[in-house]
Amino acid sequence: MKTLFTVRDMQAACRSLRQTGSLGLVPTMGALHDGHLSLVRRAAAENDAVAVSIFVNPTQFAPGEDYDAYPRRLAEDGAKLEAEGVDLLFTPSVEEMYPSGATTFVEVAGLGDRLDGASRPGHFRGVATVVAKLFHIVHPDRAYFGQKDAAQVAVLRAMVRDLLFPLQLVVCPIVREPSGLAMSSRNLNLSAAERDRAGALSGALQTAARLVRDGETGAAALRVAMLSQLSSEDGVRLDYAEVVHPETLLPVADTLQGALLAVAAWVGQTRLIDNLLVEASSAERPQPASLPEPIEEMHV
């Protein structure tokens, strides 16, 4: 595995790999866990070569958020990626990604202000900007993202469509701890007690999933079930619990056409998110011609 620190070196290394085959890109902020590695393995299975980026992107953190506290584990991350047979690791500095005087940003209007975009103003502007830069540097054939960040997936799909990026965006299922807790680099910042409490997020989604399996389709009832579970857990502070369209991220009245159940909450100082996709019920399933591009993920 080659580690590259500058945009120029990464561009040259990617150009040379692309001459001999397809290239998959896995953008990350590091402190890698099995969720990240599932993306890396999928990229390795589907491409001749794999590039991984590790960059804690300052523009997606608002002032007062956890940019400084975000876990950084570069040595361990490098060893994990080496063991996976990754070809290129890109770990640029902030100055490399944001040249002095940089004032150009990518904004996905509407979508970028929903769910996490509503709670974290400017977050998706930072995400879209850094991912667009990575796409320009790497020119991947495929780029891999986790369903864990469902709103991010919706924003980036729109960006790829609108800015005509010639690549395939591949979405990978959420990887969970045995307890059900969605894996996240931020889990490293949880105490043992907080880790237990964090189970309230996946617990709320599991409760909603049970209701769906029992035939509940009303968004209001599912939302109430998630809210009551999240607000009854001591030490967990709700941010949102929503039932939305997976692509527009706008609230839906029912799950008949499929829906994204999304939750966010603070556990201590750490903000966590989780979600669950509910498939369209077969009676109401739209005809294939009107189906969106398939997304692969955990679903009920």
* Structure-token pair, residue 90: 């890109």
Query: Is-contact 69 186, C-beta < 8 A?
Result: no
> Minimum distance between the CB of residue 259 and ligand AMP, rounded to whole angstroms?
19
CA dist., res. 72 & res. 58, Å (int): 13
Rg (CA), the chain: 19
Hey, what's the torsion of the CAs at 218, 221, 227, 228, to 10 degrees?
-160
Looking at the Cβ atoms of 123 and 197, the one nearer to ligand AMP is 123
The nearest distance, CB 27 to ligand AMP, in angstroms, is 6
Active site residues: 36
Q: What does the DSSP 8-state code read for residue 240?
A: E
- Compare residues 123 and 223 and give the one whose CB is closer to ligand AMP: 123
Which residue has 């320009």 as its token pair?
136
Min dist CB 156 to ligand AMP, Å, is 9
What is the DSSP code string of 133-175?
Answer: HHHHHH--SEEEEETTSHHHHHHHHHHHHHTT--SEEEEEPPP
Residue with Cβ nearer ligand AMP (125 or 223) = 125
Minimum distance between the CB of residue 16 and ligand AMP, rounded to whole angstroms?
A: 25
CA 248, CA 132: separation in Å to the nearest integer? 20
Which spans of this chain sit near ligand AMP (rule: CB under 6 A)? 28-29, 35-36, 38-39, 145-146, 148-149, 172, 174-175, 182-185
* Residue placing its CB nearer to ligand AMP in the complex, 43 or 225: 43
Which residue's C-beta sits nearest to ligand AMP? 146
Closest approach of Cβ 95 to ligand AMP, in Å?
Answer: 20
Please report the beta strands in 245-281, taking only residues with DSSP state E, as ranges in sequence order: 259-267, 270-278
